[in-house]
């Protein structure tokens, strides 16, 4: 039986609250903020019961002053700390827009969760015709366009510092992949199965909508092989390619344990529904830095609001585990080929805990690609040292104008 606990943001006081009545059909919990004994909040999440995995439901993200913990069979789920004012997730959402790209194939009606077969809530249903992508754009439309592509697992939010720096001289666009952030997260077998081949086609559709002409691409992490496959077939579309800590070597084709666990049988489904393990814990395990709580909450929010985020993460992890080796091999072949004509730079965060630097420098020399080292950055360079990466990207693009 769930029990809620609130922890004041200004003190260590804990308060256990009684479990909800079994007679109520919806999840209704009454919780009191420790910092204000006269103020209560009602958590009422009928839609969350529908998808079975939403931890926030009807809860307003802007109201809580406390941590909200849910105890289920001696397991603690931390849903986060909220403030009275606007949070960074709301601010980030306000900067973005929804772009429709890539058709939904083989619709099967309302999506259901794969474990209990319950119809997912409205917030967990994707478009019926064309998928919706969350995009943030900055800079004049008259400037040269750059598309910033986040890695796995991450969001466009990771480029928030980069996009600000690039906007002075470029039209910079960051987006959330399908299954991530604030873009659609279709249930597998309901129009999108999260295979790497599907991602290639979906990326092509999005690029055609965002930028009809030529474009420069900045791609980070495990989605580099996907974008390379697209680029190998559309070299006429690219002005410049910058890869940030790509899985370049053969030994990089195996996912690190903190990501591979999401593809495990049964346990993968469970871990992918854990907001902490699925978001900021994975992000901070690959580099040297801790993340600010305000930023971590942006990454957690999709997993707090809908079970579809976890289902997507599970499906993506399985696809990566199955197909990443072939994609990494194809990427090396493409970048080493004499037919590859795109100016390519590889930026490498030297404190990456997931991908070893061994062999990267030799590969770049043999393939005649530029290599830039970032000594203080980990795997998610744009999150660790965003302003430095922004300056490097600007320098690379300005030299090749």
* Domain boundaries along the sequence of the chain: 3-81, 88-399
CB burial of residue 325 (10 Å; 0-12, 13-18, 19+): middle
Give which of 208, 223, 193 is closest to 315, Cα–Cα: 193
pLDDT surpasses 70 at 77: no
Residues 6+ apart with CB under 8 A from 131: 100, 101, 102, 103, 104, 178, 183, 184, 186, 191, 192, 202
Residues 6+ apart with CB under 8 A from 282: 153, 258, 259
Paired tokens of 364: 């770049």
Q: How far is residue 204 from each of residues 36, 175, 192, 279, measured CA to CA in Å? A: 52, 13, 15, 26
Tallying the residues shown for the chain, one arrives at 401
pLDDT tens digits for range 164-204: 999 999 999 999 999 999 999 988 887 899 999 999 999 99
pTM: 0.79
Alpha carbons 62 and 80: distance in angstroms, whole number: 11
Report, at the CATH architecture level, how domain 88-399 is classified: 3-Layer(aba) Sandwich (3.40)
Give 116 or 5, the one with higher predicted confidence. Answer: 116
3 state DSSP class of 128: coil
Sheet of 66-72, strands arranged across? 14-16, 3-8, 66-72, 75-81
Hey, CA dihedral for 386, 321, 358, 395, is it positive or negative?
negative
pLDDT of the residue at 6: 37
Paired tokens of 57: 């439901």
Strand-pairing partners, residue 203, are none
CB count in 10 Å sphere of residue 398? 10
The whole-number average pLDDT for the span 354-377 is 97
pLDDT bracket for residue 111 (50, 70, 90): low
pLDDT surpasses 80 at 279: yes
pLDDT tens digits for range 219-276: 999 999 999 999 999 999 999 999 999 999 999 999 999 999 999 888 888 888 888 8
pLDDT tens digits for range 371-390: 999 999 999 999 999 999 99
pLDDT surpasses 50 at 133: yes
User: Which of the given ranges, 85-99, 172-186, 299-313, has the highest pLDDT on average?
Assistant: 172-186
pLDDT of the residue at 270: 87
pLDDT of the residue at 33: 36
The answer to whether the CB of 132 falls within 8 A of the CB of 98 is yes
Give which of 162, 172, 111, 169 is closest to 138, Cα–Cα: 172
pLDDT bracket for residue 392 (50, 70, 90): very high
**Residue ranges in 279-385 assigned as alpha helix (H):** 280-284, 293-305, 308-336, 360-367, 381-384
pLDDT surpasses 50 at 28: no
pLDDT of the residue at 372: 98
Alpha carbons 75 and 72: distance in angstroms, whole number: 5
pLDDT surpasses 60 at 109: yes
pLDDT tens digits for range 134-172: 999 999 999 999 999 999 999 999 999 999 999 999 999
Alpha carbons 151 and 379: distance in angstroms, whole number: 10
Residue 353 dihedral angles phi and psi, to the nearest 5°: -90, -5
Alpha carbons 246 and 220: distance in angstroms, whole number: 6
The answer to whether the CB of 124 falls within 8 A of the CB of 306 is yes
């Amino acid at each position: 039986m769930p029990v809620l606990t609130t922890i004041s943001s200004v003190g260590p006081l804990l308060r256990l609250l009684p479990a909800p009545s079994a007679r109520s059909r919806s999840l209704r919990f009454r919780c009191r903020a420790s910092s204000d004994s006269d103020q209560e909040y009602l958590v009422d999440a009928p839609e969350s019961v529908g998808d079975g995995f939403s931890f926030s439901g009807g809860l307003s993200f802007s109201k809580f002053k406390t941590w909200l913990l849910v105890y289920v069979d001696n397991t603690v789920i931390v849903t986060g700390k909220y403030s009275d004012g606007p949070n960074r997730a709301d601010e980030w959402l306000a900067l973005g827009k929804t772009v429709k790209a890539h058709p939904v194939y083989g619709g099967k009606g309302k999506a259901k969760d794969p474990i209990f077969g319950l119809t997912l809530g409205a917030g967990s249903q994707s478009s019926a015709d064309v998928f919706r992508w969350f995009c943030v754009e900055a800079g004049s439309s008259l400037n040269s366009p750059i598309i910033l592509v986040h890695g796995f697992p991450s969001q466009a939010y990771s480029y928030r510092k980069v996009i600000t720096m690039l906007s002075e001289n470029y039209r910079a666009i960051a987006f959330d992949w399908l299954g991530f952030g604030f873009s659609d997260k279709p249930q597998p077998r309901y129009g999108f199965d999260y295979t790497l081949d599907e991602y290639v086609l979906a990326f092509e559709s999005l690029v055609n909508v965002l930028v009809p002409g030529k474009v420069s691409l900045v791609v980070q992490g495990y989605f580099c092989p996907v974008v390379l496959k697209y680029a190998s077939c559309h070299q006429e579309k690219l002005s410049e390619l910058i890869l940030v800590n790509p899985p370049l070597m053969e030994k990089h084709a195996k996912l690190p344990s903190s990501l591979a666990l999401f593809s495990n049988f049964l346990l993968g489904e469970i871990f992918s529904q854990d907001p902490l393990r699925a978001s900021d814990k994975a992000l901070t395990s690959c580099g040297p830095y801790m993340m600010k709580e305000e930023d971590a909450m942006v990454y957690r929010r999709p997993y707090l609001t809908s079970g579809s985020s976890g289902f997507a993460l599970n499906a993506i992890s399985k696809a990566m585990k199955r197909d990443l080796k072939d994609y990494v091999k194809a990427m090396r072949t493409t970048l080493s080929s004499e037919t590859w004509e795109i100016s390519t730079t590889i930026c490498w965060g030297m404190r990456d805990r997931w991908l070893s630097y061994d062999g990267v420098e030799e590969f770049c020399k043999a393939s005649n690609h530029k290599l830039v080292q970032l000594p203080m950055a980990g795997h998610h360079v744009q999150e660790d040292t965003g302003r430095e990466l922004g300056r490097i990207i600007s320098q690379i693009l300005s030299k090749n104008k």
